[in-house]
Amino acid sequence: MDRRLFLGAAGGAAALAAPAIAQTNPEIRWRMPSSFPRTLDVLYGSCERLGRRVAELTDGKFRITPFPAGEIVPALQVLDSVQQGSVECGHTPALFYFGKEPALAFFTCVPFGMNRRQMAAWMRYGDGMKLADELFAGFNCIFMNFGDTGTQMGGWFRNEIRGMQDVRGLKFRIAGLGGLVFERLGAVPTQIAPGDIYPSLERGVIDAAEFIGPYDDEKLGLNRIARFYNSPGFWEPCSMGGFVANRTAWNALPAHYRTAVEVALGEIDTDQNARYDALNPPALRRLIAGGAQLRSWPREVMQTAWREAHGLYEDLSGRSPAFRKVWDNYRTFRNEQYQWFRVVDNAFDNFAFAEAARS
């Protein structure tokens, strides 16, 4: 017998005899930088949970290792690194990259946009996921939502905001399209990575800063520098996290590994918001007990911001076809959701919350 034929036959027999699981469950290791520091145990903790859950669902064969901001990739360069293939995936808000394409902001939040439940409806049963896939394909990435903080607070201010005169000239750390709205209000917005907010506020580089809500703001220590705590963060009625993966790397994964990631992200989507809803009330009480002064935005500021936000959307629509496409779809869905929530949730909330406060 020809020796080459014999070896070939033996190799084929060995392949056929190998357990199916060994062929379909290859060992794969991915790195996942985050835009958030390790100290933010809900946001960064969700990265750790994703890694654990994917490993559990794949018998330890597919492992995703998270890295906090700055350890292997700077906080605001995660999308770039994933796009280039320097890392396989990342955890980062899409709005951090609105300078590349303003339509990206819709896949985190936009001023006077949809809340967490409304966004989930748009992403799952509207055109949100389809539009996200089209947009992120231009960055050689796939995108999936990675938890949500819910409606955020409106930031920490050294001086009380009583009207528009207090907004003009304000050096404000704010991310995404919210910064462009405040620029139209006369403020001086700047986007600063989460880990750099405290030192910037402490040194007076900025006058005010917004981040997330009581639990995370307390961890950053912002209350030690600025005492006026505004509500609500009308530019962040939700804040959807982002899982981005290099499209080539993603498509090369076995289908059941991709499913494991999708399942884990679905679990985190529910869990993260529930954790914030449980942790924020006691954190807010601690902040107030420590001297924080809770304030609502003056109506004048809110109304002016509403007009400027919608003016901004029209301006951006004229410059970016992608923005117009997403905005037209998003606005139609948002307005219908607003009407529905006004009929039921808003009516209930306004009554029940007021009665509970009096009782």
Q: Is the pLDDT of residue 296 over 90?
A: yes
Same CATH fold, 155-234+290-333 and 24-151+238-278?
Answer: yes
Q: Is the pLDDT of residue 7 over 90?
A: no
pLDDT digits (tens, 9 = 90+) for 48-77: 999 999 999 999 999 999 999 999 999 999
pLDDT digits (tens, 9 = 90+) for 212-225: 999 999 999 999 99
Round to whole Å and give the CA distance between 264 and 258. Answer: 10
Q: What are the sequence ranges of the domains in the chain? A: 24-151+238-278, 155-234+290-333
Query: What Å distances lie between residue 325 and 93, 117, 219, 329, 331, CA to CA?
Result: 20, 22, 38, 7, 10
Instruction: Please confirm whether the linkage preceding 232 is cis (ω < 30° from 0).
Output: yes
pLDDT digits (tens, 9 = 90+) for 161-172: 999 999 999 999
Pick the CATH number of 24-151+238-278 from 3.10.20.30, 3.40.190.170, 3.30.70.100, 2.40.100.10: 3.40.190.170
Q: What is the pLDDT of residue 175?
A: 85
Round to whole Å and give the CA distance between 100 and 77. Answer: 12
pLDDT digits (tens, 9 = 90+) for 86-144: 999 999 999 999 999 999 999 999 999 999 999 999 999 999 999 999 999 999 999 99
Measured at the alpha carbon of residue 216, what is the angle toward residues 352 and 207, in degrees to the nearest 5? 100
Backbone angles phi, psi at 41, to 5 degrees: -70, -15
Query: Considering the domain 155-234+290-333 in this protein, what is its CATH number?
Result: 3.40.190.10
pLDDT digits (tens, 9 = 90+) for 232-264: 999 999 999 999 999 999 999 999 999 999 999
Q: Give mean pLDDT, residues 154-158.
A: 97
